[in-house]
Amino acid sequence: MNSRTLHTTGKVIMRGSDPLNLDASGEWAGLWWLPEDPGHQVPGVLRYEPERGLILSLIGAFEDRVTTTPAPGVLMVHEGRRTWGVIHGAADQREISLFGCFPDGGQRTFGARVKTPDKQTVVATTALIGAHVGGEDEAAFSTTEVSVEDLGHWAASSVLEGFLGAPGGRPDGSGTISVKPVEVQSVEVDGTEFVLAHRHTLPFFDQRRGGTVGRMSDTAYKQITRREASSLSDAIGYARLIQDLIALATHRAAGMIWVRLKLAPDDAVSECGGPRLERNVDVLYSPFVVGKHDAKAAAHHRVFFTCEALPFEEIIPRWCDVHERLQSATNMVLGLRYAPARYVENNLLTAVGAAEVLHRGFDIDEPPIPSEDFKPMREAMLAQVPEEHRKRIRGSLRNDPTLRDRLYALAARPDQEALSTLVPDVDRWARRTTRARNDLAHEGRTPNHELEELIAIVDVTTAVVILNLLNELGLPAGRQREIVRDHPQLRATARSARDWLSTSEADS
């Protein structure tokens, strides 16, 4: 992804109808039907809970039995239950689309003495509040808007400004909080425009019995617009792209706060002759982590980088490239932030696996033996092997770098002053990490390592992978050194490396 343009505008996005936060409950009562049978509408209530997800409670039911009619008047009921890709609804004056739906209990009556309505409970994986769409891959939207935890901190910009009166250097009790719109930053990457925008309120005074509270709020969010219409699946992918960026930058799991789509209009002009307004469509689903919009932001000294260190117009194209090219390694190392395993063995395999995958993703493999020398050597060795074993032995004779080679190569890529602070003894770290992984993979245990050393190996290897990703994003060498020196977790990792992964005098 190489093409990019940058422009800024003075556009200010004011708060209208707020997006639906994923950490807030919601309820919609209305009518529900299957798209292929719109005449059969069933009343019910859709409820969303952050912990439970989306549950539709129907007074009535959709047919969930798997049946066939082998002959006229004959109905055969088979094992299993039906699922529904899409359910449409109309509730609280809004269109609703539910995706990934399956029945989860209910009450059906057949031949009862008193006929009463059936009841059915349906679980959905995703809901669109504000539009009827035929599927998750239907290109129906013009824009995706995303809010992630700590996005405002990472953006390093705000429409709010504060001033404290201090004549002569002594505070006098006066001060102001004001709103000053900031320029909207925008960069285009391969036909997709990424915008860093702000949504804010005007000053509001809340009169209470015991006093008066003045309020203003500012929300930074990302707006992504493609040249062609996008689908719900595309939107979730963009949300994940931004979520992973903030998780890497803040070195902690970044929860998704809200996702909102703009419905692409059928035409650009409304019936009255004016421009047709885009319709907001809110997305409810279960991301890896649900963001808490009122929780405290990450402390400044725990953040790896913000847009002050890597400007928005530079980091977005680089991150799009890195995320696509090194996605497997990124997923593995961020997985240790989102869902760390309870056992060190799982984390060991994940951290070392991320290092191997990252090295492969860099495409810097060099065969230990020149190819022109290795091939005749391999054929000479295979000539000594009985024919029935030759195929098996051929598969094990590979001219690839070893794990230790890959660890050495990764250690050589970031700023060397930062790396040496983090890993004082690269040779011992590479040897002990390789031994631990091989013992666990081939013997099922690590008898040559104490628990504290395994923990140090996991932390150091994870930090080396992260430092490589930051280096690949273009984080300046000076900032890499500051992170290793000042970040509390990396300082602790460096101490563990010195205690457990440095050659002692007894080893010399």
Mean pLDDT of 163-187: 83
Percent of the chain with pLDDT over 70: 88
Number of continuous H segments (helices) and E segments (strands) in the chain: 13, 21
Determine the Cα–Cα distance for residues 116 and 113; give it in Å rounded to an integer: 9
Phi-psi bin for 491: left (phi > 0), alpha (psi -120 to 50), beta?
A: alpha
pLDDT at position 114:
64
pLDDT at position 113:
63
Mean pLDDT of 5-21: 55
The 3-state DSSP composition of the chain as helix, strand, coil percent (nearest 5) reads 35, 30, 35
14-23, 217-226, 310-319: range with highest mean pLDDT: 310-319
pTM greater than 0.75 (yes/no): yes
User: Which tens digits make up the pLDDT trace of 223-265?
Assistant: 999 999 999 999 999 999 999 999 999 999 999 999 999 998 7
Per-residue pLDDT band for 68 (boundaries 50, 70, 90) equals low
pLDDT exceeds cutoff 60 at 480: yes
Question: Can you read off the two tokens belonging to residue 378?
Answer: 């391999």
Task: Return the C-alpha torsion angle 448, 449, 451, 452, nearest 10.
Answer: 150
Per-residue pLDDT band for 505 (boundaries 50, 70, 90) equals very low
pLDDT at position 229:
93
Greater pLDDT, 178 or 469: 469
Mean pLDDT of 285-289: 93
pLDDT at position 344:
94
Long-range (24+ apart) CB contacts under 8 A made by 449-456 are: 450/500, 451/344, 452/496, 452/499, 452/500, 453/500, 453/501, 454/344, 454/345, 454/348, 455/344, 455/496, 456/493, 456/496, 456/497, 456/499, 456/500, 456/501
* DSSP labels, 57-90: EEES----EEEEEEETTEEEEEEEE--EEEEEEE
Determine the Cα–Cα distance for residues 16 and 187; give it in Å rounded to an integer: 25
Per-residue pLDDT band for 80 (boundaries 50, 70, 90) equals low
pLDDT at position 67:
63
Specify which residues 53 forms β-bridges with: 49
Handedness of CA 220, 226, 230, 233 (dihedral sign): negative
Greater pLDDT, 162 or 508: 162
Percent of the chain with pLDDT over 90: 63
DSSP classification of residue 34: E
pLDDT exceeds cutoff 90 at 131: yes
∠ Cα 18 22 28 (to 5°): 75
Determine the Cα–Cα distance for residues 185 and 207; give it in Å rounded to an integer: 36
Which residue in the block uniquely carries the two structure tokens 């006098």?
Answer: 172
pLDDT at position 106:
64
54-68, 476-490, 493-507: range with highest mean pLDDT: 476-490
Per-residue pLDDT band for 508 (boundaries 50, 70, 90) equals very low
Mean pLDDT of 198-227: 88
User: Which tens digits make up the pLDDT trace of 292-303?
Assistant: 988 888 888 899
- AA letter at 254: A
Relative to beta strand 256-263, strand 141-148 is antiparallel
pLDDT at position 318:
97
pLDDT exceeds cutoff 60 at 275: no
pLDDT at position 427:
96
User: Which tens digits make up the pLDDT trace of 414-432?
Assistant: 999 999 999 999 999 999 9
pLDDT at position 164:
83
Per-residue pLDDT band for 215 (boundaries 50, 70, 90) equals confident
Mean pLDDT of 205-219: 87
pLDDT exceeds cutoff 60 at 276: no
Determine the Cα–Cα distance for residues 157 and 410; give it in Å rounded to an integer: 34
Other beta carbons within 10 angstroms of residue 257's beta carbon come to 26
Greater pLDDT, 412 or 202: 412
